[in-house]
Amino acid sequence: MLKNRGADTLTNTSYLWQNYKVYATTADSAENKFGIEFAMRYEHRATGNTFGPAAYSAQSVNFNGQVNSIKNQTLNYSLTYRHAKNIDSANTSQPEHFYLGRVDYNFTVLKGVFRSTTLYEIGTGRQQKQQIVYIASPTNQGDLFILPMVIKMAMG
C-alpha cells in the first residue's frame, strides 16, 4: 500500500488482492493419490484512501492424481477449470473460461531396458496479446493504457 506524500490518499499503484483456497487430498503415504482444490482470487484497486470493490475475480477447480498401483507403470493427471472476469475493463466484462488438462503415462519393461513416456496436454482460452502504452501526463506520472491485439492463427 503506497500513500501520496502530504495527502491521506492511496496512489494509483496501490492494490489489494485476496486469495482463498480449499482442498482435499489423500495421505502422502497412499499408493494412489488424488486431490481436489477450489481457489478464488479477488483484486481491488485504490480509490481515494481505501480500496474499491473487486475489479477482477477468478475461481478455479483443479483435480489431480497419481496412479502407482500397477507394476512398472505410473499415471499422473491434472485437470483444471478456471472462470475469470475483469469487471473493471474498458474492453470487455465478459467472463473468460479456461480449461487445462495434462496426462502423463510412463512404463518400463525388462527391468528398465525399455522405457516409454507419453504426455498429452490440452488447453483452451487464448489470451489476447496486449500492448502497453504510456502517455505523458502534466505531472509526468504517465497514464497506463492497455490495448488488446487480436491474435489470428491459421488452422490447418
The DSSP secondary structure of 116-144, one letter per residue, reads: EEEEEEEE--PPPEEEEEEE--TTS--EE
Residue with grid cell 480500496, as numbered in its chain: 51
Cα–Cα distance for residue pair 50/136, rounded to 1 Å: 26
pLDDT tens-digit series, residues 101-139: 999 999 998 887 888 989 998 887 655 555 555 556 566
Cell of 66: 497419481
Instruction: Average the pLDDT over 46-71 and give the result.
Output: 85
Cα–Cα distance for residue pair 116/51, rounded to 1 Å: 53
Q: What is the pLDDT of residue 135?
A: 59
The yes-or-no verdict on residue 144 having pLDDT over 90 is no
pLDDT band, residue 37 (cuts 50/70/90): very high
SS3 of 99, please?
strand
CA distances from 68 to 17, 34, 71, 73, 106 (A): 38, 11, 7, 7, 10
* Confidence (pTM): 0.61
Task: Choose between 81 and 132: higher pLDDT.
Answer: 81
The highest-confidence range among 65-69, 92-96, 110-114, 127-131, by mean pLDDT, is 65-69
